[in-house]
Structure 1
Amino acid sequence: MIKKINFGVLILLWLIGIWIIISMFLHNKTDNTYINVGHNRYFLLSLGLFSTYIFGYKYIKRCYFEIFKWKKLGMNFLVFLSTQTAICFSIYQFIINENLDLIEVTIFVSLFLQTGDLINDKLKSFIATDLKNILSIQPKKVLLIENNEEKLANTTSIKVGSIIKVLKNQIIPLDGKIISDEVLLNTQIIDGENESKRFVKNDVIFAGMLNLSEELIFKNTQNSFDSFLSKITMKVSSIQSEKSKLKSTIDMLITIFTPIVLLLSLIGFLVSYFWLNYYSFYESIKTLITVLVSACPCAIGIAIPLAIAIGSSKAAKQGVIFNKPDAFYKLANINVIGFDKTGTLTVGKVKVKSYEGRQNYLNIIALIEEQIDHPIANGFKNYIREINYETSKLEVKKIEDLKYKINSKTYELLPIFKYKNEMKSSINIDFKSIDNTATLLLEDNVVVAKIEFEDELRRDAILAVNKLKKQGYELVIVTGDNYTISKNVAKKLNIKNLYAEQSAEDKLNVIKDFQNQKKAIAYVGDGINDILAIQKADLSISILSKNAFLNLESDISLLNPNIDLIVESIKYAKYTKKIIFTNLFWAFIYNAIVLPLAIFAILTPFIGMIAMFFSTLLVLLNSLLFKLKK
């Protein structure tokens, strides 16, 4: 209601403002009653007091917070100082029965600033509406199963661990794990791919996905307000308020800029008083106010957050989540892009090609793979289901990565490239015949089983890699897989830089090596063995895996495993950076031109206000064009 009232008052003040401007130019040339009322001293002073202390109260409040809470001087202090100086001088002129020559400052500063704020808020509301539309697809009611009975319940009241039933062509209401044996889902709301996908028991599903099977039963793992879809929308909506390094630098410049403006306004007063308008206090105070109102750095203040808000919203619609505001700036400065192989450059739908070893070791491998989220682990889990192998539950105690204690024996999954000739083996291994990813199972340091996996290159990988090459990026494959297999993938993609047979620590060292060469590197990964590299890289990109998403703490999350989205990420980052710097350029150029004109009284306070308003409007329109750009 308050916003509607403010909007109505804003429209009314604009109409009155236009009337006052007409009266300013025509009151000496006509006896028209309406024109003369628009120049009436009582009317103007009343309007000035209303605009300053009621309609523009928020700027006084912000000034208070700036000085006493945030301990800095900024735009709001300049607004306060210019309007208070103008209103006090106008009251003085009213008392001595002179024309109120500066009263328009008190009226139009608030009017122009409120108009800029309204446009800014409207642009942000467009973004908020886009996000609300995404969240609105989550059902308000769910079919809850309790004590073998089905009943409707509110989604918000469902507790973690509840059993939910979803009928055919219904939207999944909450995040959870599948209880049904096998289902088909449309995952477009999450990853943008409008096609059916097969999910099986214990696979993770997310709110917003569409059930294409006859029915789906799952156990929910998150509350409705904590769903992955909610986290995405919250992240996109909040990123504009998060501090980026660039924004912090601009804030620091504004705190330096404000005292400089105060000094320049004083210089303008002295230049006018002792030189241009000899001992004229009235003309000198006009110059001081002109400098203050011309320099209000509101355009600088909105240049960065608005561009980031729009850029992150547009990217999110394509399945690219910018988790941190600095990601826009960092991505636009990347020289090298490093890729994990399995699940990133390859499809990640890993299948078991062959297994060698006793059948009982399948149970041991299954128990270990249950502890791991990686395409290879998921491939083995699917293999166990396909051959209908019944696993038995045993106590599993983790010793270190890929090494576990089970039934008093030590088991370890070992990539085949780490095999050493001195290792004991109970099976014969023909290394020459292995042309795919392979893993060994060791029981008390003896090789007892071998699993060979196969995967395929992503259909978009070659196209995306070629696009990135044309843009001048140095591309690198950093993988834990063996050299021969990785070399075949690198050859297909025509990527010359290959680091194969890399552990998590080795990947970290590869990142460090590039950074030591003064190269900014982005790393793209999807598994637990990528975490160290992702954390160390200049820019981290996490990509969708089969059963879970890496958390939203990486710089960028790709909700679709299509690596062409990296190209899209770069496009949005570069364009957002361009908008930010264009906005800042105009804001600073404006001040560089206008302030000298104001100091030497070439501008009047009213012209200075108009210039300030149009500088802000230019930034807003530039951002609006970005919002509308497809």
Structure 2
Amino acid sequence: MGETLKTKENRVANEVKKTFTVTGMTCATCAKTVEKALKKLDGVKFAAVNLATSTGFIVAEREVSFDEIKKTVEEVGYGVSKESPEDVERKRYKESKRNLIFAWLITAPLAVLMLYHMFIAEIPYFTWIEVFAGAFVTFYVGRATIRGAWIALTHRHTNMDTLIFFGAVTSWVTALLDSLGLPVMSFGAIGTMIVAFHITGRFIESYLRDRASKEIKALLKLQAKEARVLTDKGEVMTPIEAVKEGFVVLVKPGERIPVDGVIVEGKSSIDESVVTGESIPVLKEEGGEVIGGSLNLSSPIKIRVTKVGEDTFLSQMIKLIQEAQGSKVPIQALADRITMWFVPAIIILAIASAFVWYFNYESFLPFVEKARSIFPWIIQTSDPLTFSIFVFVATIVIACPCALGLATPMALVTGTGLAAKKGLLIRNAEAIQTSKDIGVVLSDKTGTLTEGRPKVVDHNLSDDLIKIVASIEKNSNHPLAKAISELSQESVPIENVEEIPGEGVKAYYEGNEYFVGKPLDYSRYDSLLSEGKTVVEVRKNDEIVGFLAIEDPIREDSPAAVKRLKEMGIDLVMITGDNEKTAKAVARRLGIEKFHAGVKPSEKLDLVRTYQTHGKKVAMVGDGMNDAAALKGADVGIAIGSGTDLAIDSADIIITKGGISKVVDAIEISRKTFKIIKQNLFWAFFYNVVAIPMAMMGLLHPVIAELAMAFSSITVTVNSMRVRK
């Protein structure tokens, strides 16, 4: 027998997830090497390492300590830091900027001298200038590249630094050999330029990657460092780490709210746009929940802290985004397999090309002469060793595994960042690839198509019966129960409360059995049902004693979202526990053609399976609690966030605020992101397929090759940023 849903939920509940910063990575092969090492760690079920964000992510069956992770990563030559990726990136950016300046202070004058030496007049001891200048740039300024190559080689793998190392060092060695009187043309200045262009490309790439992930960085900046805690001695500015649940903090107008909590004094407009995607400020008063990171606009408020540290909405939000950015989409598997073998293959091809040219140079000379008329940068020499080195260096530096490695993660970083900005948290990166193919959206009615704030608009109950019914409904979590319980502030002693899923609530009061829920005969309430109202019947000892008519206003954005889904060729099917007449009335007002009424929570998964058998990808939209089975069973589960609670493990995507219109946003972001991923992969493959053979044929100069290599990585990064537009 297969694994039951309950077993799966228990298994998921026992999983431990960790996100951490990985240092020392320079290309996709580095990330893949760290990832393979983490997967071998005892208890780790899944591991993903993201080059674009310098983060690692694991899912384990046990608690894995930071020291275990650090040791595992260090064994393959890389590091783990407790600092945030942003702090690590800031330090790396500062160091890259310094190296860039040093590289060009030496390389620019050297390039001018090289041109003067080649075309105007010979400079005495120029090759010795190349030797010393090249040594400084290659081994000091480019020491991070040398270190990266050495780490890779000593741990029996290769990376992008390996290619630059072989290309630059080989060029520098030619200058040294030429200076010592050996008959080899010097490529010393070219080796220096290779390193300088490589550092420049890395600097630009780092800058663009920083911009591409600006949404997650904006969220991190919202995390408060201090809070103004109210004590017996007055206001005390307290480090956020020392703030505990139950503390009362004061937030003045214009300040960021530092914690999650409930307003205990004051009333103010709150801007929650950064964390919910809603641009219109919300008026909050006593009893209202506030989210850390949102902005207090108009008046001072006092807040009782309800959540601190990793439990806060903002921390959970950041964690979920980082997990999504650290995970992978299926299409990335091909690129990963290629990048693992890419660098060793290039080294073999470069060596093979050099040998072929060395032993067949005279035979190929007519081809070289003819090609030089088209490609003037091809060197003119009669020495086969010199030309072989020329081909070797060009082939080594033209190859670009970075473009392949960045193609998918860069688009994911930008896409998940855009989603967060719109109030969508994509928990599972695979949902990015799946959502684009959604053919059917199954949507719950209450809280998704409607506002989820139902109100009693009519009833025929006596005052005493209202007290009894309101007291019974206070024991239920159903959205309709909240509306009924608000009818009376007085409570009466209720006994033996039993909630019957999909039916209603049964309880006892003064020895009598009361039932509040679905009517026995809906035809008694035809006029109310035809208006789209939900009818709740009240029975005492199985006799009908009254009814309540409840209405849940349709969300303002629902009609436009339903229309947009139709235009996208997606079928929207409404699922509701309401009776058929109420469901039909709501569906008619929204323009929904298909709906299922009277559906119990246990039947929703069956509907998901039914639509999947028709060969279409199915998205299920629900509240993440009653709909857990259907959310897990759907190709993409989309949960409506409840208040500040993001702990909805059943969903792939969480809507922090809003309704069905956010589903449209999710599908559009998926389609746009995946389109960019395919473009990135195409151009990365195309670049390497065209450029590498040209270099092997001796048609590319090493400097041009290095420029092209840097340009390919930058192009992939820039193209990924188009997701936001």
Measured against the shorter chain, the TM-score band is 0.7 to 0.9
1:10 corresponds in structure 2 to: 100
CA distance in 2, matches of 1:196, 1:607: 53
Query: Are 1:265 and 2:338 an aligned pair?
Result: no
Question: What pairs up with 1:405-554 in 2 under 5 angstroms?
Answer: 416=518, 430-435=524-529, 436-439=533-536, 451-545=548-642, 548-549=645-646, 551=648, 554=651
Q: Contact 1:74/1:258 (CA < 8 Å) preserved in 2?
A: yes
1:361 corresponds in structure 2 to: 468
Q: Contact 1:286/1:604 (CA < 8 Å) preserved in 2?
A: yes
2:604 is paired with a residue of what secondary structure?
helix
Query: Are 1:607 and 2:704 an aligned pair?
Result: yes
1:349 aligns with one of 444, 450, 453: 453
1:275 aligns with one of 357, 360, 365: 360
1:511 is paired with a residue of what secondary structure?
helix
2:427 aligns with one of 308, 323, 332: 323
1:49 aligns with one of 116, 125, 135: 135
Q: Residue 522 of structure 1: CA displacement?
A: 1.8
1:255 corresponds in structure 2 to: 340
Residues 408 and 277 of structure 1: CA distance in aligned 2, closer, same or farther (over 3 Å)? farther
Question: What pairs up with 1:202-351 in 2 under 5 angstroms?
Answer: 204-209=289-294, 216-224=301-309, 226-236=311-321, 239-277=324-362, 280-351=384-455
Q: Letter of the 1:582 partner, please give it.
A: Q
Residues 171 and 298 of structure 1: CA distance in aligned 2, closer, same or farther (over 3 Å)? closer
CA distance in 2, matches of 1:184, 1:411: 46
Residues 476 and 168 of structure 1: CA distance in aligned 2, closer, same or farther (over 3 Å)? same
Q: Residue 15 of structure 1: CA displacement?
A: 4.9
Residues 284 and 411 of structure 1: CA distance in aligned 2, closer, same or farther (over 3 Å)? farther
CA distance in 2, matches of 1:53, 1:444: 90
CA distance in 2, matches of 1:85, 1:112: 16
Deviation larger for 498-507 or 225-234: 225-234
The number of residues matched between the two structures is 608
Query: Are 1:151 and 2:235 an aligned pair?
Result: yes
Q: Contact 2:441/2:570 (CA < 8 Å) preserved in 1?
A: yes
1:151 is paired with a residue of what secondary structure?
strand
Q: Letter of the 1:319 partner, please give it.
A: G
CA distance in 1, matches of 2:509, 2:362: 97
Q: Contact 2:395/2:692 (CA < 8 Å) preserved in 1?
A: yes
CA distance in 2, matches of 1:121, 1:333: 33
Query: Are 1:389 and 2:481 an aligned pair?
Result: no
Q: Contact 2:468/2:492 (CA < 8 Å) preserved in 1?
A: no
Q: Contact 1:113/1:613 (CA < 8 Å) preserved in 2?
A: yes
Residues 189 and 621 of structure 1: CA distance in aligned 2, closer, same or farther (over 3 Å)? closer
CA distance in 2, matches of 1:328, 1:211: 34
Q: Residue 434 of structure 1: CA displacement?
A: 4.5
Q: Residue 343 of structure 1: CA displacement?
A: 0.7
Residues 403 and 572 of structure 1: CA distance in aligned 2, closer, same or farther (over 3 Å)? same
Q: Contact 1:350/1:376 (CA < 8 Å) preserved in 2?
A: yes
Q: Residue 615 of structure 1: CA displacement?
A: 2.0
CA distance in 2, matches of 1:551, 1:394: 31
- Identity of counterpart residues, as a percentage? 27
CA distance in 2, matches of 1:261, 1:412: 78
Residues 73 and 439 of structure 1: CA distance in aligned 2, closer, same or farther (over 3 Å)? farther
1:335 is paired with a residue of what secondary structure?
strand
CA distance in 1, matches of 2:330, 2:719: 22
Q: Residue 318 of structure 1: CA displacement?
A: 2.8
Q: Contact 1:526/1:545 (CA < 8 Å) preserved in 2?
A: yes
Residues 443 and 269 of structure 1: CA distance in aligned 2, closer, same or farther (over 3 Å)? farther
Residues 84 and 398 of structure 1: CA distance in aligned 2, closer, same or farther (over 3 Å)? farther
Q: Residue 198 of structure 1: CA displacement?
A: 5.8
Q: Residue 549 of structure 1: CA displacement?
A: 4.7
Q: Contact 1:175/1:206 (CA < 8 Å) preserved in 2?
A: yes
**1:56-89 deviation line (CA, Å, top 9, x unaligned):** 33334434555666x7544344334444444455
1:558 corresponds in structure 2 to: 655
Using the size of structure 1 for normalisation, the TM-score is: 0.83
Residues 248 and 116 of structure 1: CA distance in aligned 2, closer, same or farther (over 3 Å)? farther
Q: Residue 463 of structure 1: CA displacement?
A: 1.1
Query: Are 1:573 and 2:667 an aligned pair?
Result: no
Q: Contact 1:323/1:552 (CA < 8 Å) preserved in 2?
A: no
Q: Contact 1:145/1:165 (CA < 8 Å) preserved in 2?
A: yes
Unaligned runs of 5+ residues in structure 2 are 1-90, 364-382
Q: Letter of the 2:142 partner, please give it.
A: G
Query: Are 1:114 and 2:199 an aligned pair?
Result: yes
Q: Contact 2:538/2:545 (CA < 8 Å) preserved in 1?
A: yes
Deviation larger for 167-176 or 519-528: 167-176
Using the size of structure 2 for normalisation, the TM-score is: 0.73
Query: Are 1:26 and 2:116 an aligned pair?
Result: yes
2:686 corresponds in structure 1 to: 589
Deviation larger for 266-275 or 511-520: 266-275
1:27 is paired with a residue of what secondary structure?
helix
Q: Residue 331 of structure 1: CA displacement?
A: 2.0
